[in-house]
Amino acid sequence: MAGSSADRAYPEPVRRLIGELERLPGIGKRSAERMAFHVLKGQADEARQLAQAVIDVKEKVRYCGICYNLTDVDPCPICSDERRNAAQILIVEQPRDLISLEQTGLFKGVYHVLLGRLDPLHGVEPDDLTIADLLERIDDASKNCRTVPVREVILGLNPDLEGDSTGLFLMEAMRSRSITVTRLARGIPAGSSLEFASRAVLADAIEGRQEMAD
Amino acid sequence: MAGSSADRAYPEPVRRLIGELERLPGIGKRSAERMAFHVLKGQADEARQLAQAVIDVKEKVRYCGICYNLTDVDPCPICSDERRNAAQILIVEQPRDLISLEQTGLFKGVYHVLLGRLDPLHGVEPDDLTIADLLERIDDASKNCRTVPVREVILGLNPDLEGDSTGLFLMEAMRSRSITVTRLARGIPAGSSLEFASRAVLADAIEGRQEMAD
């Protein structure tokens, strides 16, 4: 109601930009307005660069043909990097998960992005993910990065119901294949306090307790 | 540090889009990443529409030649609207203030946007604002909306030091001109409580107390 009279007060191109910005995640009407006014007040060059960046990201970025990481070259820089151990595949749900893990700088293997997780209730079946491509990489080394045979698969799925059932499905698929399957450790997150840890977190921490080194 | 290894993990176009989005007000790295991934996952059409909206807003939107409202037609729809009382000009600092006032749907006059406020400490002098154009509208009816002579000027400046001194400057300029000068009422904001009102708000409320109608 109040919105409609405000909308009429904006010139049409401003209204349209606000509308487009509001479709972005986490952007409400207020933020969209602030952003639109920023573009309006800024240099025309800045606006063109932003517009071009939006277009380029759609036109130039695609999935890696091996691991389904987002990339502008195929195969992606991780798959073609000779310093990385292609025998070790860390399986994640989304490219964002891969980025988070890369930020640590600790993992020296390669990845496989499922582009989702099994969720039969919402119609997500194995065929909707990149599981077939993963099995191909394992079964046929020529399909893996730099034709290296796979020896270990690490499950890096989200620690929730769907992540766990996706993990179970993958473990089942690996059973007939002679490779090691591991999963990322679960427990109390570093920097948190026991007091506020949930029952599930504490259960993982107790069950997965690690022997102290001398 | 963590940022640099993360940055290398993104394809260049993604990195560039995140960078462009981060320049927008109130958008941090995290939001920029979420927005970039949304664009990546979405339809190419949606991305093109967003990009086009950014470009159009710069190319099609300009200031109204009379009141300096943002508009894609000149004069703006408010200045050319025959149902509005062009004898009454409400002076605001920014187009956003105009939008807020229009949202109420209560004001039936026209506007003049100063595009700022006097701030000598930061080098903002009268010539940096649209004050000369305002005085022209007042002195020469042919320069005002629909050539209507101006009878009243309402100060709608922000209630702070710079807003007040801008208001004083304008009142001084109006002194030699035979028009009424008023300003928006100040007092306790509706919906708030006295308990938390600041001394300045209470002072305004006491000084500007209004006689109760019977």
**Chain A residues lying within 8 Å of B93, measured CB to CB:** none
Cα–Cα dist B17/B40, whole Å:
10
**Are A88 and A152 spatial neighbours (Cβ–Cβ below 8 Å)?**
yes
**Are B111 and B91 spatial neighbours (Cβ–Cβ below 8 Å)?**
yes
Is A114 a residue whose pLDDT tops 70? Answer: yes
How far is CA A76 from each of CA A37, A110, B15, B209, rounded to the nearest angstrom? Answer: 37, 10, 15, 70
- Interface check for B203 against chain A (CB to CB < 8 A): the answer is no
**Contact call for A16 and B53, based on CB within 8 A:** yes
- Give per-residue pLDDT as tens, A142-179: 999 999 999 999 999 998 899 999 999 999 999 999 89
Q: Check residue A197 and give its pLDDT.
A: 81
Give mean pLDDT, residues A99-105: 85
Q: How far is A108 from chain B (nearest CA, A)?
A: 13
B71: nearest CB among A6, A11, A35: A11
Highest mean pLDDT among A185-189, B56-60, B199-203: B56-60
Q: What percent of chain A has pLDDT over 70?
A: 95
**Are A211 and A197 spatial neighbours (Cβ–Cβ below 8 Å)?**
no
**Contact call for B102 and A6, based on CB within 8 A:** yes
Which pair of tokens denotes residue B14? 């993604």
Q: Which long-range contacts (CB under 8 A, 24 or more apart) does A195-198 make?
A: none
How far is CA B184 from each of CA A68, B79, B169, B188, B208, rounded to the nearest angstrom? Answer: 59, 21, 16, 13, 11
Which pair of tokens denotes residue A31? 């933020």
Q: Check residue B8 and give its pLDDT.
A: 66
Is A4 a residue whose pLDDT tops 50? Answer: no
**Contact call for B99 and A48, based on CB within 8 A:** no
Q: Name the more confident of A204 and B9.
A: A204
Enumerate residues 151 to 180 of chain A having a beta carbon within 8 A of any beta carbon in chain B. Answer: none
How far is CA A169 from each of CA A117, A154, A163, B80, rounded to the nearest angstrom? Answer: 10, 14, 10, 67
Q: Check residue A210 and give its pLDDT.
A: 77
**Chain B residues lying within 8 Å of A45, measured CB to CB:** none
Give mean pLDDT, residues A196-209: 82
Cα–Cα dist A111/A181, whole Å:
14
**Contact call for B2 and A26, based on CB within 8 A:** no
**Contact call for A102 and B9, based on CB within 8 A:** yes
HSE on the CB side for B23, CA within 13 Å? 17
**Chain B residues lying within 8 Å of A12, measured CB to CB:** 72
**Chain A residues lying within 8 Å of B50, measured CB to CB:** 20-21, 23, 51, 54
Which pair of tokens denotes residue B9? 């993990």
Cα–Cα dist B5/A104, whole Å:
8
Q: Check residue B4 and give its pLDDT.
A: 45
B11: nearest CA in chain A?
A71
ipTM metric:
0.71
- Interface check for A125 against chain B (CB to CB < 8 A): the answer is no
- Interface check for B51 against chain A (CB to CB < 8 A): the answer is yes
**Contact call for A33 and B96, based on CB within 8 A:** yes
Is A102 a residue whose pLDDT tops 60? Answer: yes
**Contact call for B103 and A38, based on CB within 8 A:** no
Q: Check residue B3 and give its pLDDT.
A: 43
**Chain A residues lying within 8 Å of B20, measured CB to CB:** 49-50, 53-54
- Give per-residue pLDDT as tens, B143-195: 999 999 999 999 999 988 999 999 999 999 999 998 999 988 888 888 887 77
**Contact call for B38 and A54, based on CB within 8 A:** no
Which pair of tokens denotes residue A27? 């952007």
HSE on the CB side for A196, CA within 13 Å? 5
Using the structure block, give the residue that is written with the tokens 């045979």.
A149
- Give per-residue pLDDT as tens, A65-85: 999 999 999 999 999 999 999
B71: nearest CA in chain A?
A11
Angle between helices A131-139 and A161-174 (to 10 degrees): 30
**Chain B residues lying within 8 Å of A51, measured CB to CB:** 50-52, 54-55
Q: What is the dihedral of CA A71, A73, A74, A77, to 10 degrees?
A: -70
A50: nearest CA in chain B?
B20
Contacts of A180 (CB under 8 A, 6+ apart): A151, A152, A153
- Helices and strands in chain A: count of H runs, count of E runs: 8, 6
- Interface check for B63 against chain A (CB to CB < 8 A): the answer is no
Contacts of A189 (CB under 8 A, 6+ apart): A197, A201
Cα–Cα dist A66/A111, whole Å:
9
- Order of strands across the sheet that contains A85-92: A109-113, A85-92, A152-155, A180-183
**Looking at the DSSP assignment, which residues form a beta bridge with residue B91?**
B112, B155
How far is CA B169 from each of CA B80, B87, B126, B161, rounded to the nearest angstrom? Answer: 28, 21, 9, 12
A105: nearest CB among B5, B39, B58: B5
B17: nearest CA in chain A?
A53
Q: Which helix (H) or strand (E) holds B155?
A: strand B152-155
